[in-house]
Chains A and B, each alone.
Chain A
Amino acid sequence: MTITDVELPTAVSQKFPSATPRASLDCPAFNVPVADVIGLLEFLRDARGYDFLMDLTAVDWSADKSPRFTVVWHLYSSTNHNYVRVAADCASDVEPEVPTSTVLWAGADWHEREAFDMFGIKFAGHPDLRRILMWDGYPYHPLRKEFPLAGLPADFHDPAITAETKTGLIAAPMAGGPFVAKSGEPMSASEPRAKDEAWNEQSEKPE
């Protein structure tokens, strides 16, 4: 059964005055400057028993916001069965970078590769920071907010296929795509046909 870790916020603020509580609907959460993040994670793991790195991901708050990228760690304790969330805003919006947590958990390797692949966040000190879900050489970071749902034209993963077929990837036709009405917007603006970026009355179907 869960034992609530009541002393955690005071313990963290004593050891790391730079860490501030973060708004959360469930577990305790902390905002921490990039410089202190590894120290805080190590403290949570070794002194507070949060031994599992369950998840590591990033959030893009959209291109017009600064700081734009936040990296989020979720730790779990196998002794008191609690979670804790640690979040760090990346200093640069153009070249976001945080230190790697592979020094603490070997399992952070793939999580960080995924965050790099999807958001373009660099994890300084990562032993092998390559793309993991998309192929090497793919030019975009798909989970960034400016990347459209339909996708963007790109070359195939293999130059030989591009040479042979003389074509590349095209954006997906989104007719019939997600149908979500925004509040305060006429319904017609939300219809699949109106939202279709790649293939509608305004722009011709790609050949």
Chain B
Amino acid sequence: MATDFSFPDTAAKAAAMPKEFESEKMSLSMGPSHPSTHGVLRIQFELDGEVVTKADPVLGYLHRGDEKIAENMTYNQFVPYTDRLDYLAPLANNMAYAIAVERLANLQVPARCQAIRVLTAEMARVSAHLMGLGAFGIDVGAWSVFMYCFEEREKLYTLFEELTGARFTTSYSRIGGLSRDVPEGWTKKVEAFCDQFLPILEEILGMLTRNKIFLDRTVGVGVISRADAIAYGLSGPNLRGSGVANDLRKDRPYSGYEQYEFDVPVGSKGDCYDRYLCRGEEMKQSIRIIRQVIKNFPGGDWYAKDAKKIFAPPKDKILTSMEELINNFMIVTEGPQMPAGEVYFEAENPKGVLGFYIVSKGGGVPWRLKIRSPSFCNLSILPKLCVGNMVSDVVSILGSLDFVMGECDR
């Protein structure tokens, strides 16, 4: 299939037009409640006909002040707030936050805990990409993809519910451990999900990958060059779609990712289609990781038993041992005791790199907690990326960037 990848520089053409053809610029406000803005993003456009000549994203509609809240509560109390960052992959957020605080406390968690975290994070990645793919499909007019994706995502959410007790806001990874161990027989159900999922994933991707309409809407649209992707600090599939093979799971393995074999898919053109292809392949790689985790599922403890001042022990221990009761009381009222210092930890989340910068002065409350959210950084390229495109292409671009405003606005 011969495809022209040259980027139609409509803005330059418009600028070169004779003066008598110049039309009045129109201003258009897209969002904050536009279906293709996936939440509450608003973009203020300046249009020349149907061509975008200027784009100014307006953020903050979902700003809750998470960083301010974090400074006013203990490390443990903040775990549920991390659910609400990228609310499509709370399990991955919980894990990133827990590891960041564990780095501050210089705490190692047992192998079983690490394996469960990897397992849940990869399941979260599959569910987040399914959502991203389905929404992208709707944006460019493919309804059925969304339905297929949602059915599979629903199966994952049932598994999450069985594991964590909640479908959406899981708060599963805790500092120094997990909220509970894996229930009996649960990993068998995850394997069964993987078995039936791969053929359906092929079907889902088959509906888009060679779909003429989908190709017309995505190939050559919203091209991000390698240099731009680096300059704007993009991450995740948006960065890899532009040909930069950065994946923290490979480059700086955490939580035992170095034990698992997987590939990092990389795009070549950096257009919307490449970003779509990367996400599709990442799901298959995630399934590969999930299978390896379950195959070599370690036994032993599921929380750090030596972290008596950090991880609240299970309820039965609290009710039977005086010492554990005191520990639990201190952890709940004063928070887990941390040394003074600074750490910065980043994890490879479905949307990109989620970072936590923690400044501690000791005690149970962070002095400063900065959340480096991937969606915020990924969206920062919009003012450059939208210019020269048709308004309808902006819809494709937004779908392909796959952002979550809960994380962007914090």
List A residues at the B interface (Cβ < 8 Å).
1-2, 23-27, 29, 51-55, 57, 59-60, 72, 74, 76, 78, 81, 83, 85, 105-107, 109-110, 114, 118, 132-135, 142-143, 147, 149, 177-183, 187, 190
CB contact under 8 A between A81 and B367, given known A54-B355, A106-B231, A180-B73: no
CB contact under 8 A between A55 and B355, given known A25-B341, A105-B231, A110-B380: yes
CB contact under 8 A between A105 and B103, given known A1-B251, A23-B342, A55-B372: no
CB contact under 8 A between A57 and B73, given known A74-B344, A133-B59, A134-B63: no
B74 interface residue per 8 A CB criterion: yes
Interface-forming stretch among B152-160, B182-190, B357-365? Answer: B357-365
Distance in Å from the Cβ of B196 to the closest Cβ of chain A?
35
Could you tell me the distance between the alpha carbons of A60 and B376 in the complex, rounded to whole angstroms?
Answer: 22
Q: Is the interface of A mostly helix, strand, loop or mixed?
A: loop
Could you tell me the distance between the alpha carbons of A114 and B58 in the complex, rounded to whole angstroms?
Answer: 13
Q: Chain A residue with minimal CB distance to B363?
A: A183
**Residues in B whose Cβ lies below 8 Å from that of A85:** 342, 344
CB contact under 8 A between A23 and B344, given known A106-B232, A110-B376: no
Task: Choose from A59, A181, A187 the contact partner of B368 (Cβ within 8 Å).
Answer: A59
B346 interface residue per 8 A CB criterion: yes
Distance in Å from the Cβ of A134 to the closest Cβ of chain B?
6
Could you tell me the distance between the alpha carbons of A59 and B106 in the complex, rounded to whole angstroms?
Answer: 22
Q: Chain A residue with minimal CB distance to B67?
A: A143
Could you tell me the distance between the alpha carbons of A200 and B126 in the complex, rounded to whole angstroms?
Answer: 47
Q: Chain A residue with minimal CB distance to B358?
A: A25
Task: Choose from B251, B334, B342 the contact partner of A29 (Cβ within 8 Å).
Answer: B342
**Residues in B whose Cβ lies below 8 Å from that of A147:** 68
Contacting pair A106 B384 (CB below 8 A): yes
**With contacts A143-B68, A179-B333, A180-B333 known, what are 10 further pairs, Cβ within 8 A?**
A27-B344, A57-B357, A78-B251, A105-B231, A107-B231, A118-B67, A134-B60, A142-B65, A142-B68, A181-B333
Q: Is the interface of B mostly helix, strand, loop or mixed?
A: mixed
B281 interface residue per 8 A CB criterion: no
Could you tell me the distance between the alpha carbons of A182 and B232 in the complex, rounded to whole angstroms?
Answer: 41
**Residues in B whose Cβ lies below 8 Å from that of A51:** 230
Cβ contacts A to B, 24 pairs, < 8 Å: A2-B251, A2-B252, A25-B106, A26-B103, A27-B344, A53-B233, A54-B233, A54-B355, A55-B372, A72-B357, A76-B346, A78-B251, A106-B232, A133-B59, A134-B60, A178-B72, A178-B73, A180-B73, A180-B333, A180-B334, A180-B335, A180-B364, A181-B333, A182-B334
Task: Choose from A25, A55, A57, A180 the contact partner of B104 (Cβ within 8 Å).
Answer: A25
**Residues in B whose Cβ lies below 8 Å from that of A29:** 342
Could you tell me the distance between the alpha carbons of A118 and B371 in the complex, rounded to whole angstroms?
Answer: 13
Contacting pair B359 A59 (CB below 8 A): yes
**Residues in B whose Cβ lies below 8 Å from that of A177:** 72
**Residues in B whose Cβ lies below 8 Å from that of A183:** 334, 363
Could you tell me the distance between the alpha carbons of A179 and B343 in the complex, rounded to whole angstroms?
Answer: 25
Could you tell me the distance between the alpha carbons of A55 and B355 in the complex, rounded to whole angstroms?
Answer: 8
Could you tell me the distance between the alpha carbons of A59 and B368 in the complex, rounded to whole angstroms?
Answer: 7
Closest 7 A/B residue pairs (Cβ): A107-B233, A178-B73, A107-B232, A133-B60, A25-B341, A81-B251, A55-B372
